[in-house]
Chains A and B, each alone.
Chain A
Amino acid sequence: MTTASASSDLESGPEALRRLEAEVAELGAENARLSEYRRSNEEEEKRAKEMLDRMTEIDPSLAGHVSSWMGPASRFSGDIVLAERTPSGSVVAFLGDVTGHGLAAAFISVPVIRTFTAMTRKGFSLGAIAAELNAAAFANLRRDQFIAGTLALFDPDSGMVEVWNGGNPAALLVDEDCRLQARFRSEHLPLGVLAPADFDPRTKAFLVEVPCQLALVSDGITEQRDASGRRVGELGVLDLLKSTALPARLAALRSKYTEIPDREDDCSVLLLDCAAGGGRSLAEGIAASPPLPAPAEAGGGRLDPAWELTLKLGVDALRRADIVPLVSHVVANLQPPGHDPGRLHVVLAELFNNALDHGLLQLDSRLKDSPDGFQIWMDKREARLNRLSEGTIELSIAAGAVAGKGERFHVRISDSGGGFDPDAVGAATGLAHGRGIALVRSLADSLEYHAGGAAAEVVCAP
């Protein structure tokens, strides 16, 4: 636009007047165009914001487990806070911090949000979710962009807290008496930096023995400065967590670190409740097997299969793939729409893990019985799996109607290992281990072991 000669006093007369009128008219038109541009821009921003808010909305049924607060530096946050439940009733939370902020940062988080939701709902392990988020970020981001991210899983059945932290401030696990129980510092590069082949999906685990809360924060919080110019830092966050009782923590963090005017960076906080309560997730997520109808026609309980799936897995496949979610996914596609994957997923996960951990890897469950036990267990498991030279696990699932019972799954899992004593493993309730078999029994019509524990057979409702 030219802004010009209205003030020129060298010109005068009708010629100058006409020019002035034309300029005023042009200015008015320009103004209208700008207003229209602003209006449509605001409309588009509003829609983009609604879309992103929908994608990142946390399932209301998780309200009792996860609380979060976000303070974006501008209208759009470059921080991402997500939480989802897995098919077996664990809760997985994610706090991400995208390079930069505003709409551009929010926009590049979309593929990562979608990946998180899909992977978690299918029940993949935390390490597999981390690897997939990294692959999504690596494929979609520029080479100078990345996402600092923390993934945290809490399994209420076992009390296990598992964390993968790449580039975020340490995740802090604090109990009800405000003592620090564990600290999960960043041990990895942020998401999107490494090519998928170089990615390190290893996680850290801790077993809670008393109710705790895990706090994830973005560096927008730790990089803030207090009135005297000191950085808040991890210690500042820890002090606040330690000085505030559980229910008031979020409000305290929010009022202390987010009332700062002209924030330069996005701030976010996610608190994940970690209170072990054997079977609590089941009560919420999955109902026990529905009561059997009266055996009007005792037909021997034979299954007439609508489909049958058989898998034989050698060492390489066992090392490479996260088997249970893959199988769950296939089953979900074979079943009629509306199939709830929860029960079968839990059954498969427990039986498969028993076959692998006890049958092939010969791990001793007692390893898990200390707070650091899960970490030791996971490290040993990884080492033994890497060293494993031979072994197979065979898995078969058939689905169909059983006379007098209705629709049932018939699941068989066997391993080539030495088997294990299911009674010894199952008896130790109250400890960190041994709940698995009791869990399967409570969900299934029947659970039988054969071949000295090396083969398990389950009949359960879909």
Chain B
Amino acid sequence: MQIQQTRANGLARIELNGRFDFSSHRLFRSACDAAFADAEVKGVEIDFAGVDYLDSSALGMLLLARERAASSGRQVELVNCRGTVGEVLYIANFSKLFTIS
């Protein structure tokens, strides 16, 4: 997986590309670390447009990211969740925890 990060108006955008599974653990974590370490960042947007697959360990990483965000009063939003990615998030009912679009 590849990750690109951008910042604008207090929003950190993390763009994921490729397979989001356990092998992306370190990469994803460091992207989140960077976003959360920045006091300017009020919210985090994770962009799934380029993700063609995610597994249950990826869902686990999202749960951790959400917990860390919540502890500093921030929100995590999941955007561009289409196809299989959207379906996996839907079956796991992650819409009860995240804003998903």
A-to-B contact residues, CB < 8 Å? 97, 99-100, 142-146, 148, 166-169, 185-190, 193, 219, 231, 265
Determine whether B80 belongs to the interface, using a CB cutoff of 8 Å to chain A.
Answer: no
Contact B56 A193 (CB under 8 A): no
Cα-based distance from A167 to B89 in the complex (angstroms): 9
Determine whether B85 belongs to the interface, using a CB cutoff of 8 Å to chain A.
Answer: no
Given contacts A143-B63, A231-B84, contact A189 B93 (CB under 8 A): yes
Given contacts A100-B56, A169-B91, A189-B92, contact A144 B97 (CB under 8 A): no
Which chain B residues (43-99) contact chain A, with CB distance < 8 Å? 55-57, 59-61, 63-64, 67, 84, 90-94, 96-97
Contacts of B84 in A (CB 8 A): 231
* Between-chain CB contacts (< 8 Å), 9 pairs: A97-B56, A99-B56, A100-B57, A143-B63, A146-B59, A148-B91, A185-B91, A186-B92, A189-B93
Closest to A145 in B: B60
Contacts of B59 in A (CB 8 A): 99, 146
B-to-A contact residues, CB < 8 Å? 22, 55-57, 59-61, 63-64, 67, 84, 90-94, 96-97
Closest to A198 in B: B96
> Which single member of A97, A143, A189, A265 contacts B96 (CB below 8 Å)?
A189
Cα-based distance from A166 to B59 in the complex (angstroms): 14
Q: How far is the CB of B45 from chain A (nearest CB, A)?
A: 20
Q: How far is the CB of A395 from chain B (nearest CB, A)?
A: 37
Contacts of B94 in A (CB 8 A): 189
- Counting from the closest, the 7 A-B pairs by CB-CB distance are A144-B60, A99-B56, A167-B92, A144-B64, A186-B91, A189-B93, A99-B60
Interface centre among B56, B60, B90 (most CB of A within 10 A): B56
Contacts of B90 in A (CB 8 A): 186
> Which single member of A144, A185, A188 contacts B61 (CB below 8 Å)?
A144
Contacts of B64 in A (CB 8 A): 143-144
Contacts of B60 in A (CB 8 A): 99, 142-146
Contact A187 B67 (CB under 8 A): no
Contact B93 A146 (CB under 8 A): no
Given contacts A99-B57, A100-B57, contact A144 B63 (CB under 8 A): yes
Contacts of B96 in A (CB 8 A): 188-189
Contact B63 A167 (CB under 8 A): no
Cα-based distance from A146 to B91 in the complex (angstroms): 14
Contact B93 A167 (CB under 8 A): yes
Contacts of A193 in B (CB 8 A): 63, 97
Cα-based distance from A168 to B90 in the complex (angstroms): 10
Contacts of A265 in B (CB 8 A): 55
Beyond A148-B92, A231-B84, 17 extra complex contacts between A and B, CB < 8 Å? A99-B59, A100-B56, A143-B60, A143-B63, A143-B64, A143-B67, A146-B59, A167-B91, A167-B93, A185-B91, A186-B91, A186-B92, A188-B93, A189-B93, A189-B96, A190-B93, A265-B55
Cα-based distance from A342 to B11 in the complex (angstroms): 60
Closest to B64 in A: A144
Contacts of B56 in A (CB 8 A): 97, 99-100, 146, 148
Cα-based distance from A47 to B18 in the complex (angstroms): 40
Contacts of A143 in B (CB 8 A): 60, 63-64, 67
Cα-based distance from A190 to B61 in the complex (angstroms): 14
